[in-house]
Amino acid sequence: PERVLIIGGGDGGVIREVCRHAEVKEVVICEIDKMVIEAGKKFFPKIATAWDDPRVKLHCGDGAKFVEENKSYFDVIICDSSDPVGPAQSLFTPQFYKAMRLALRPGGKVSTQAETTWLDLDLIQHLAISAREYYDSVEYAYTQIPTYPCGMIGFLICSLAPAAADSKTNAEKKQMASCRKPRRKLNQKLENVLKYYSKEMHSASFVLPAFARRAIYEGAKVQRKNKMKIMADEKKSKK
């Protein structure tokens, strides 16, 4: 990937990790709150290390609006948002997933913050169903974050097949777009620097407990409608 868009992520952590990859030529970060950036530089200097990279371009504004204004430009979009209440709620809608799809080039990938299967399975299922209308492959992966609720956070990985797949069947496009296996081998120098990621961890992050797999991929009924209710109640309160 050459062009990467980061929505949110003002602490600088995602930028730092993206800039580790020499293949990337342009990194655009769209952060709505300048104070997040300044706080990150002040209190997390070991995380906010890539702001001076010449490939990084900062746009302060609404991420949803920015995506709508940039069609067919990015290879990767990473949405490092807060929870789907308040100002970030627009980043958890079908309209936003459609806008990100239109902002991608063929073969593009989207990774969004997608909560935890232990608390928010209803929202994850809703997002996955919506995203499948626009992407060739929609998958859920997760990582361990001890300071997050339940000690984990998930990502909805939405992918387009490359342009060469236009004549393929939907099943073939889905397979070609899947992110379950690493597409390239990292150089040894980079591998030695990374503390969490490995090719084994990459594939393992897509392996889900049976209840989550059934809900996200097989449409099983989700009993606990927690996060969707919270979002609906907030929407009503604004009217």
| pLDDT band of 23, cuts 50, 70, 90 | very high
Q: What is the pLDDT of residues 125-154, one digit of tens each?
A: 999 999 999 999 999 999 999 999 899 999
What does pTM read for this prediction?
Answer: 0.91
Segment 29-38, tens digit of pLDDT: 999 999 999 9
Burial code (b: 16+ CB inside 10 Å, e: under 16) for 70-93 equals: beebbbbbbbbbebbeeebbebbb
Name, in order, each residue with C-beta under 8 angstroms of 168's C-beta and a sequence gap of 6 or more.
Answer: 161, 176
Q: Which tens digits make up the pLDDT trace of 192-234?
A: 999 999 999 999 999 999 999 999 999 999 977 666 666 666 6
* Catalytic residue set: 80
Looking at every residue in the chain, the average pLDDT score rounds to 91
Q: Is the pLDDT of residue 91 over 90?
A: no
Give yes or no for a contact between 129 and 168, defined as CB atoms under 8 angstroms apart.
Answer: no
What 3-state class would DSSP assign to 124? Answer: helix
pLDDT at 223: 79
For residues 138 and 131, give the distance between their C-alpha atoms in angstroms, rounded to a whole number. Answer: 7
Question: What is the predicted pLDDT for the residue at 25?
Answer: 98
Residues 118-122: what's their mean pLDDT? 93
The 3-class secondary structure across 16-36, one letter per residue, is HHHCCCCCCCEEEEEECCHHH
**For residue 109, which phi and psi values (nearest 5 degrees)?**
-130, 145
Q: What is the pLDDT of residue 231?
A: 62
